[in-house]
Amino acid sequence: MAKVDLAQVGKNSLKSAETGETVELQSLWQDQPVVLFFLRRFGCQICRWMASEISKLEPDLRASCVALVGVGPEEFGLKEFKEGGFFKGSIYVDEQKKTYKDLGFKRYTAVSVVPAALGKKVREIAAKAKADGIQGNFSGDLLQSGGMLIVAKDKVDLMTIPKYILLCKGGEKVLLHFIQDSPGDHLPLEDISKALGISATVKAGQRPVCNDDVCTR
């Protein structure tokens, strides 16, 4: 896990998809821990499936006083994403993509993005998304990758101090920093809850298994 300078990255600006207000990133963990899910694109079928998966944790996160936030690199496709109900948390836009850069989320080239998008992991999730009725498109910035950042109190404290005392306080430590290597990379739900030291009651959706020719459920 690469080191993240919270003081520096926390000053970056995001735009709220709900209010249009510009806020500093650090304001999202000022009063409570936060799970920040950085999407590649709002129109990306894979991202929409990942957003729906992560959203399964929202009730457990809310019960533990942890905020769930989605961040996209541009407003393109935002309206359709919101109308589709793919994500259950708050949504923001990093219009300058500065946080994406500061967190080390890679950008593909016009050449490298093609084999990445055709990889086995991507095909597996695309098949699952299609089976779940989730569609996507190829509009917008196709070159940006994403990841996740979880900011909270130290995990040891979370497990030893009563949650009602600690969990509802602001974050000050990076518990998890995940960078996609492939567009199909995502964290299992149990890894997210484990990083926070909370229990989750949901079950992750099972991905189909792909060979060189076909994906099966």
For the chain, the structural domain boundaries read: 6-196
Please say if the pLDDT value at position 159 is more than 60: no
pLDDT band (50, 70, 90) for residue 127: confident
Per-residue pLDDT of 59-103, as tens digits, reads 999 999 999 999 999 999 999 999 999 999 999 999 999 999 999
Looking at residue 216, its pLDDT comes to 36
- What is the identity of the amino acid at 17? A
Looking at residue 215, its pLDDT comes to 37
Tokens 């993240």 appear where?
Answer: 4
Phi/psi for 204 (5° steps) reads -70, 150
Q: In a 10 Å sphere around its CB, with 0-12 CB exposed, 13-18 middle and 19+ buried, how is residue 56 labelled?
A: middle
Output the pTM of the full model. 0.83
Per-residue pLDDT of 39-66, as tens digits, reads 999 999 999 999 999 999 999 999 999 9
* DSSP letter (8 states) at residue 105: -
Per-residue pLDDT of 190-213, as tens digits, reads 999 999 988 877 665 554 343 444
What CATH number does domain 6-196 carry, 3.40.30.10, 3.40.50.300, 3.20.20.150, 1.10.10.10? 3.40.30.10
Spatial strand order in the sheet of 13-16? 22-24, 13-16, 90-93, 67-72, 34-38, 147-152, 173-179
pLDDT band (50, 70, 90) for residue 129: confident
The residue that leads in pLDDT, 144 or 162, is 144
Query: For the chain, what percent of residues have pLDDT higher than 70?
Result: 83
Please say if the pLDDT value at position 166 is more than 60: no
Tokens 């990076």 appear where?
Answer: 174
Tokens 């079950």 appear where?
Answer: 203
pLDDT band (50, 70, 90) for residue 113: confident
Looking at residue 168, its pLDDT comes to 66
Tokens 């430590």 appear where?
Answer: 173
